Amino acid sequence: MNQPEIAKKVARVYTENWGGEPLLARSPGRVNIIGEHTDYNDGFVLPAAIDKAVYVAAGRRNDDRIELKAVEFNDSYSTSLDAIAPREGQWTNYILGVVDQFRKRGHQLGGFNLVIDGDIPFGAGLSSSAAVECATAFALSELFGLNVPREELIRVAQKAEHEFAGVLCGIMDQFASMFGKKDHVVRLDCRSMDYQYVPLRLDGYKLLLLNTNVKHSLSSSEYNVRRQQCEAGVDMVRQKYPEVKSLRDVTVPMLDECVRDTDELVYRRCKYVVEESERLLEGCADLERGDLTALGMKMFRTHRGLSDEYEVSCPELDFLVNAVRENDAVLGARMMGGGFGGCTINIVREDAIDALVNELAPKYKEATGLELTPIIAGIEEGTSRL
């Protein structure tokens, strides 16, 4: 089903249930070229919005009810503005968490009906949750004439994830979904929130995502643990260097001096982040120079760090990265996003993609018992009204 068809579908379901013409909005998923687990350490990231998205159809009600429908899950949920609360593991959290944040910030919402659907695979590390939050935040801001700037909408979305989904995420996913630009990556400084659009010139290459179809239940709890370990490292460094505010301000010699002998695990975690922040800046310069070979080598190095030092990979992701390492058509590959499953991102020569997937899929199935799902990522605009 292509995207306009999904938009038509949510509109149709809306009208069948409540009549009238709904407001339509779209928010995309994202890829990240390099810079993983750096966002919540005040570092840089290099994401882009993709051509897979969440669509919502929304309309006002005359009462304080909230009526939600998720087409993909064939599920509905009904509540009222004053009764919204998180529900463990439910899709409604990403919508109601946004409503909760708007209200906490003093924005006036009324009751509404909302239908949601999309084509971002869940649990694939492509930020379907941030896309739901951003689509909801944007649609409700438009629907109730709140005129909330995009900079604030992404904070609403991020806080919704913290408080209703329990994942203490950084800002990368929401930023990419909201601010993405066609055929560009965003070089975002997660401390100052300054950003530049960098053209993604792939000349004969494509971004190929290989979905492991693994989603470990560890992902949220271990994500929050990594965050705490980074903060623990900062606390140790700060005893000697009080000016340090986050790992962004830390160097490997500082870690050697203040953390290595005290806590080896925290040292490894922090060292990965500090090195990844430097790697991102160099990788971005590679991209601007058109040196995809150099960028690709850094992606492999990032994967090693995520797997061995940060320990957020899994056997299936490692299998896929190792399987392409010696392939001349693949310039770089690594796991992407929070980890413990989801996709690898690969820079692959366009004319070699079919052969690569045909060779890899049966090997992957034999090794893991799982299907391999290839996705070619096109780079698209961020959140918009349709």
Active site residues: 173
Tell whether residue 204 is among the known ligand binding residues. Answer: no
Tell whether residue 39 is among the known ligand binding residues. Answer: yes
Comparison of 6 and 172: residue with beta carbon closer to ligand GAF: 172
Position 309 contacts ligand GAF (CB under 6 A): no
Q: Tokens 């000349």 identify what position? A: 203
Comparison of 310 and 319: residue with beta carbon closer to ligand GAF: 310
Q: Which of 7, 24, 40, 136 binds ligand GAF (CB under 6 A)?
A: 40
Task: Decide: 45 and 281 in contact? Cβ < 8 Å.
Answer: no
Q: Who's near 73: CB < 8 A, 6+ residues apart?
A: 91
Comparison of 234 and 353: residue with beta carbon closer to ligand GAF: 234
Comparison of 276 and 316: residue with beta carbon closer to ligand GAF: 276
How far is residue 135's CA from residue 153's CA, in Å, rounded to a whole number?
10
Position 164 contacts ligand GAF (CB under 6 A): no
Residue 183, SS3 per DSSP: coil
How far is residue 217's CA from residue 9's CA, in Å, rounded to a whole number?
31
Task: Decide: 50 and 81 in contact? Cβ < 8 Å.
Answer: no
The number of C-alpha atoms within 13 Å of 106 and in the hemisphere containing its C-beta is 0
Tell whether residue 128 is among the known ligand binding residues. Answer: yes
Give min distance, CB of 280 to ligand GAF, in A.
11
Paired residues of 114 in beta bridges: 58, 68
Tell whether residue 14 is among the known ligand binding residues. Answer: no
Q: Which of 29, 170, 283, 374 binds ligand GAF (CB under 6 A)?
A: 170
Q: Tokens 């909408």 identify what position? A: 153
SS (H, E, C) 88-142: CCCCCHHHHHHHHHHHHCCCCCCCEEEEEEECCCCCCCCCHHHHHHHHHHHHHHH
Comparison of 167 and 386: residue with beta carbon closer to ligand GAF: 167
How far is residue 279's CA from residue 334's CA, in Å, rounded to a whole number?
14
Binding to ligand GAF in span 328-347, by CB under 6 A: 337-338
Q: Which of the ranges 78-86, 170-178, 273-281, 303-311 carries the binding residues for ligand GAF, by CB under 6 A?
A: 170-178
Position 172 contacts ligand GAF (CB under 6 A): yes
Tell whether residue 350 is among the known ligand binding residues. Answer: no
Q: Which of 173, 276, 286, 309 binds ligand GAF (CB under 6 A)?
A: 173
Position 22 contacts ligand GAF (CB under 6 A): no
Give min distance, CB of 284 to ligand GAF, in A.
15
Q: Who's near 126: CB < 8 A, 6+ residues apart?
A: 29, 30, 31, 50, 52, 120, 209, 337, 342, 343
Q: What is the DSSP letter of 377?
A: P
Q: Which of 37, 181, 279, 298 binds ligand GAF (CB under 6 A)?
A: 37
Comparison of 109 and 270: residue with beta carbon closer to ligand GAF: 270
Q: Which residue positions form the known binding site for substrate?
A: 36-39, 223
Q: Which residue positions form the known binding site for Mg(2+)?
A: 129, 161
Q: Which residue positions form the known binding site?
A: 36-39, 123-129, 161, 223
Give me the residues that bind ligand GAF (CB under 6 A), please: 36-37, 39-40, 127, 169-170, 172-173, 337-338
